Structure 1
Amino acid sequence: MRRAAALAPLMLGLVAASGAARAQEATGEITIWSWDIAAAALERVAQDFMAQNPGVTVTVEDLGNQQVFDRTLAGCAAGGADLPDIVSVENHEAEIFWAQFPDCFADLTTLGYDETAAGAFPEFKRTELMAGDAVYGMPWDSGPVVVFYRRDFYENAGVDPSTIATWDDFIAAGQKVQEANPGVSMTQGDLNGDTEWFRMLANEQGCGYFSNDAASITISQPGCVAALDTYKKLVDAGLVGAANWGEKISSNNAGTVASQLYGGWYEGTIRTGVPADQAGKWGVYQMPSVSADGARAANLGGSALAITSASDAPEAAFAYLQYALGSSEGQVTMLREFGLVPSLLTAVEDPYVQEASDFWGGQAVWQDVLATLPNINPSRGTPFFGDADAILRTVQTGFLNGEYESAQAALDDAASQIEAVTGLPVAAAQ
């Protein structure tokens, strides 16, 4: 991956040059389906794109996340009826579309997307967007995982986050932080309703629900067992306050939590949501690892853009993708104005990314977040992600409540259930 990162500036220069040539020639009207802040970001970038390419008109429709998913599935099932030119697709759901309706989407390699373009993005973002030799989506935003923390709470406890390299270090630090700041939890997790902690820790360990060739179930492999064991250690140590999404935000605002483990997109949630007097009190550090020399990078969340086969202007649609996603100009605009974390490897070199932030205590937070991109392990969602996640959610809750004798036993049970639902074999024990 280091080689890919080193070559990325050259690759991007080639991609941008070819994309600019195509963009100047592109004409037509294109419509994009997206949701919420993502839709706003695409519309903002569309203004710059249309200014440079007056022959193209771009319309972004904000339908909401679930509506985009449901209407895209329905449109594909109806042979492409009523679909737009471009759809937003969440990475972990992408393979549901490719598996059921591969003919519903344009293979981007037929429009000019090649190995040069692909090399501008980290491998983990590309894995779920391919089916065989076909590429059905271009990487958009990502979720490099970091620890968001309250500088003042750590300082009260005499804890230097640069010394936290392992989850055992995090536990030791957390006990000090909670003792020095009565009423404050070291961190929080949705103990009953979400698997995000497990998925972040497992991805860090190079493990996921399925193998990277999507041919077997790997949730009971050692990396996943270590992830679930680690999560329970944190919970049993009394460091993980039970909280759903909204309760975490309330705790951030109230100053009752010292750390949140999330994808980089959570930066905007904190910065724009907490009271003004918390400015300068927050910072970011690299997620700890299971072992002293282990990986310290993971991803949570992220999307792509796909061009439908129903598009009447696929060349114009691809030119837009080249500008919005294949250039630092497009991706950093969406980062700067909407907090969408780029997947483009060269974005880390942008002057904005390297700026120190007053809110984050003078830290160049985006440089630290994006620096982890080349180190993130791929993780296949497959068409069965939803089934596997629902099973793991129940098993995880049981394990945290002491219903299994070990993490291995819990994940063996999960693997068996996933096998029954998907028909995929459980990978041999390592």
Structure 2
Amino acid sequence: MKRYILGAGAVVFVLTACGPDVASDSGDGALSAPDADSPSGEITIWDRSGDLYDVFDAAIDEFNHKYPDIVVHHEAVDIDAKLSNTLITGADVPDGVFLDDAKVAGFAEHLHDLSGVLEPYLDDIAGQKIDVNTVDGQIYGVPWDLNPGLLFYRADILDQLGIDPSSIETYDDLYDAAQQVKDANPDAAPIHLEQDAFLSQLWLEMFASQLGTSLADENGELRLDSPEYRQVLEWLDQVNKAGLGARGEYLGPADLATLENGEQVFVPWAIWWDFAPQQLLPETSGKWRAMPLPAWDEGGARSGAMGGSSFVIPNDAENAELAWLFYEFLVFDSVGYEAVYGPNDVYPGGLNTSVPSYAPAADPDRPLFEPLDALGGQDLWPVAIEAGNEIPGGTPIPRWWAGAVEYLGNNLQRMFDGDLTPDEVIRRSTEEIQTNLVDRQ
């Protein structure tokens, strides 16, 4: 399985088929918070190496101001390579792990049920994050970030053409705006169309999320054959056939070239795309802006989820209750989430590639990160918070999701090649996923 490093501070998405399906066995270890006045002990916390590891590591000093007798052993680990075998063997199990939302359901039988300790916070956590962490009515992840979809656009080009971004309220409006760009520049292919099979399936799920659906329902049953997926695929097919789409792999050389030269003007993607103008687009940095995604239908949701991560606590953790205190501090304590998202040594302007899933931390009037020079000084915080609030609820992601890329992700690319119609993508992918993945569990 490929690994995708999705920008500085963004989530690393590596989906693997492991563990039970969402409606299968689940862990039975309901966790309780420690009742000691001065809890003490040692915990081992696994995070991935990189910028987020450094951000979380820097927050440990603040945690120890509150809990001076808890020693945190913070380890940079290849979680995708080590976690599954570690949980199965029960040897050297960490007390807490940073984990993709897409994997929580698959590991549920090895994880503590966190429903009890999360109960005081549930009303203030984004519903989509609770949903993706819930298996058979039990919650197995401490929800961390939201990754709302946004529409990034070249403000300078729209200004030159007299296109008001606020007029782009639906995907039909986006299509019309792209046609205006192409009429002015025949070489333009204004809308990004993802060429990588894995990321294109994740991208498709963002669009479907706006319509309140996903590849599987809460019981892990396939639901691709639906009016919602048909609507999305038909629009993408129309964009492609009209020559309005720039087909390229996410931030690959060809993609970057069309972004820089003005041929690609609109990028509907998760918030973590803002890494591109900050680090990879020196010629056009400062010319990009962000706004909520268009709605599929007038008055519909203006964002969908594209990825996300949470914190989990294994059943065999030696000091699970202390690990909960660490995650409670990072996610729900103002000192903790300000240390993570606010200006720090790693991100002097604050971590801006996601937003918190906890409402008090996601106050639109109290930004945790600063305006972005790469977006022309735009204050992305209220835009992203509004988009996060627009995300409909979700469902646990089934263990076969990654395997579906061989079928749905590839068939989507075949549609862009002109070999399949939207209906054929749905029919073939449904048959292949059901036969080769769902029925074989």
Match status 1:315 vs 2:329: no
The correspondence for 2:352, drawn from 311, 333, 339, is: 339
SS of residue paired to 1:284: strand
Show the counterpart of 1:134: 138
- Number of corresponding residues: 394
Structure 1 residue 271, shift from structure 2 partner: 2.0
SS of residue paired to 1:60: strand
Structure 1 residue 324, shift from structure 2 partner: 0.7
Match status 1:33 vs 2:54: no
Q: C-alpha root-mean-square deviation of aligned residues, in Å?
A: 2.6
Conserved 8 A contact 2:367-2:382 = no
In structure 2, do the counterparts of structure 1 residues 268 and 93 end up closer, same or farther at CA, with 3 Å as the change threshold?
same
Question: Deviation per CA, 1:310-341, whole angstroms, max 9, x where unpaired?
Answer: 22222221111111112344334333333342
The correspondence for 1:46, drawn from 49, 56, 60, is: 60
The correspondence for 1:370, drawn from 385, 388, 399, is: 385
Question: Deviation per CA, 1:99-129, whole angstroms, max 9, x where unpaired?
Answer: xxx1x2222235x221x32222111111221
Structure 1 residue 348, shift from structure 2 partner: 2.8
How far apart, in 1, do the equivalents of 2:169 and 2:222 lie? 30
How far apart, in 1, do the equivalents of 2:378 and 2:202 lie? 26
Higher helix share: 1
Show the counterpart of 1:259: 266
Mean Cα deviation higher: 161-170 or 282-291: 282-291
Structure 1 residue 375, shift from structure 2 partner: 2.4
How far apart, in 2, do the equivalents of 1:167 and 1:125 lie? 26
Structure 1 residue 390, shift from structure 2 partner: 2.6
In structure 2, do the counterparts of structure 1 residues 23 and 351 end up closer, same or farther at CA, with 3 Å as the change threshold?
farther
Question: Deviation per CA, 1:281-301, whole angstroms, max 9, x where unpaired?
Answer: 221111112222322210101
SS of residue paired to 1:59: strand
How far apart, in 1, do the equivalents of 2:73 and 2:268 lie? 35
SS of residue paired to 2:146: strand
Conserved 8 A contact 1:91-1:302 = yes
Paired residue type of 2:302: R
What is the correspondence of 1:186-225 to structure 2 with a 5 Å cutoff? 186-193=190-197, 194-211=200-217, 213-225=218-230
Show the counterpart of 2:8: none
Structure 1 residue 29, shift from structure 2 partner: 1.7
SS of residue paired to 2:407: helix
Match status 1:87 vs 2:77: no
Structure 1 residue 71, shift from structure 2 partner: 0.9
Q: Which runs of 5+ in 2 are unaligned?
A: 1-31
Q: What percent identity do the matched residue pairs reach?
A: 22
**With structure 1 as the length reference, what TM-score do the two structures score?**
0.84
How far apart, in 2, do the equivalents of 1:156 and 1:46 lie? 48
Paired residue type of 2:68: P
What is the correspondence of 1:48-67 to structure 2 with a 5 Å cutoff? 48-63=62-77, 67=78
How far apart, in 1, do the equivalents of 2:277 and 2:177 lie? 22
Q: Which runs of 5+ in 1 are unaligned?
A: 1-17, 426-430
In structure 2, do the counterparts of structure 1 residues 23 and 360 end up closer, same or farther at CA, with 3 Å as the change threshold?
farther
What is the correspondence of 1:69-218 to structure 2 with a 5 Å cutoff? 69-78=80-89, 80-98=90-108, 102=109, 104-109=110-115, 112-114=117-119, 116-180=120-184, 183-193=187-197, 194-211=200-217, 213-218=218-223
**With structure 2 as the length reference, what TM-score do the two structures score?**
0.82
